[in-house]
Amino acid sequence: MEKKKVHRLVIGGPLPGMNEILKAYGVNRGTGAALKTKTDSDIGRCIRKQLKGLKIKSADFGFIWYEEHKQRDPDNIIVAHKFIMDALRKEGVLLNDGWKQINSIRDNWRVDAERPRVEVLIRVIEYQEEQGDLFNAS
C-alpha cells in the first residue's frame, strides 16, 4: 500500500471560536465581518508561506488545537475549521471544500500556554493535475 504524503500547516492562535464570532456579530455586522476578514487574512498568510505551490484534489485532515488553557469547550474551538478550509480553497491549495475533497476530519486538543496554535495535518489522497500553460500547450 502506498504511503500518503502528509503536509503540516501551523497557524498561530487561538483562532476565534463560536462564542467570539457570535459576540462580534452581536455588536454589529461590521464587527463580525472585520473579525472574519482578519482571521481569513492571517490564515491565508500562513498558507502562502508554508504550503506554497501545493495543489490538493482530496485529503484527510487532522487538527491539533493547542489552547492556552482548558476554558474553551472543544465544540466552540472547532468552528474554526470553516475559516481554515475556506482559506485553503481561496489560496488554491484545495480544489474545493466539499465532500469530494474532504475525506475526513479528526481533532485533538492540547494545552500550550506559551504557544497557542492550530496544527493542520493534511494527508493527501490525490493531488490536482498540473494544468499546464495554455499559451505553450503542445
Q: What is the pLDDT of residues 58-116, one digit of tens each?
A: 999 999 999 999 999 999 999 999 999 999 999 999 999 999 999 999 999 999 999 99
Residue 137 above 70 pLDDT?
no
Residue 26 has, within 13 A of its CA and on its CB side, a CA count of 6
Band of the pLDDT at 30, cuts 50, 70, 90? confident
Q: Coil, strand, or helix at residue 117?
A: strand
CA distance 44 to 107: 21
* Eight-state DSSP code of residue 94: B
CA distance 74 to 29: 25
- Within-domain flag for 58: yes
CA distance 85 to 81: 6
Residue 134 above 50 pLDDT?
no
What CATH number has the domain bearing residue 49? 3.30.1330.70
Provide the domain count of the chain: 1
- Within-domain flag for 23: yes
Q: What is the mean pLDDT of the segment spanning 11-27?
A: 90
- Within-domain flag for 21: yes
- Within-domain flag for 30: yes
With b for 16 or more beta-carbon neighbours within 10 A and e for fewer, the 9-36 pattern comes to bebebbbbbeebbeebeeeeeeebeebb
pLDDT at 3: 62
Range of the domain at 69: 6-129
